[in-house]
Structure 1
Amino acid sequence: MEIRLATSSDAHDIHSIILDAYSEYKDIPGSSSALDETADSIQESIKLGKENALLGLVDRSVIACVRYSFKDGMYFYRLAVRRDWQGKGLAKLLLSHLESLAMVERQPKIWCKVRYSVPRNVYLYQSLGYVKSDEELVHKDDGVALEVWTMSKVFSA
């Protein structure tokens, strides 16, 4: 898999991957807010420098992405792999690249938020050395309360 930094012109690909990867959550109570984003909002955020993204490509096709910003270290979110490519280790490759970038940028830690109710995501991060550093109860507009963990990896100086 080739990994490269996204530009604002990649927003439609990013949006498409997120919709595909997060589609399994669309019919469950408290569905992900990722499904409410638009390609335009992603494009604007990248263009204004509010966030960055890495893309994973196979044979020039974008099949994975992760978005990130610098906030108390490197905060990443919307890690997504097209459903037909999941389970092949691509998320781990993308995270490895992101961690290397965090170290180059001299960030003290890398972290994300994950729903506790999606154990495969919790296990993914745990398998890569992330630990639960906080938890919170998030109340969604539809009245659903979700337990959300902050998972982080601290880099030694």
Structure 2
Amino acid sequence: MDDSLCVDCGLCEKTCAFHGDYDKSLNLEKPLAYAARHKNPGEIAASQSGAAFVALSDVILSRGGVVYGAGYTGHFRVVHKKAATKAERDGFRGSKYVQSDMNTVFRQVREDLKNGSLVLFSGTPCQTAGLASFVGKRLRDRLFLMDIVCHG
């Protein structure tokens, strides 16, 4: 958070998963865990973690949706960005091991959802929890969240 931009609206406290008032209505009593691997060996070789992200994002993209994930920009800076094609999505492949710059991605995701798009968002547990809270219950039916294992 940039303190110089803070207007004391309290929104960060309302959307933070570590705050006591965070909406936990979608939490399961017992977590579900799934294991998945892409059927195509070539996709597995070009990806991490069995290319599960590629398989799920292919479904969203084939239905006209968009995908958000972490990719590189100039000077190996890691940013979250949007992909509407498989070629754009392929820029998200591979481990980054640093926190991505979210910039205005939450607002972009909310606009895509308001416009009726399916959205797959891949990020750390903190990022996905924050996004779910930010977009609100009304827009979550077209939002698919994919947590990555956070090494931090």
Identify whether the pair has TM-score above 0.5, normalized to the shorter chain: no
Indicate the structure with greater helix content: 2
TM-score normalised per structure 1 = 0.30
Larger Rg: 2
Indicate the structure with greater strand content: 1
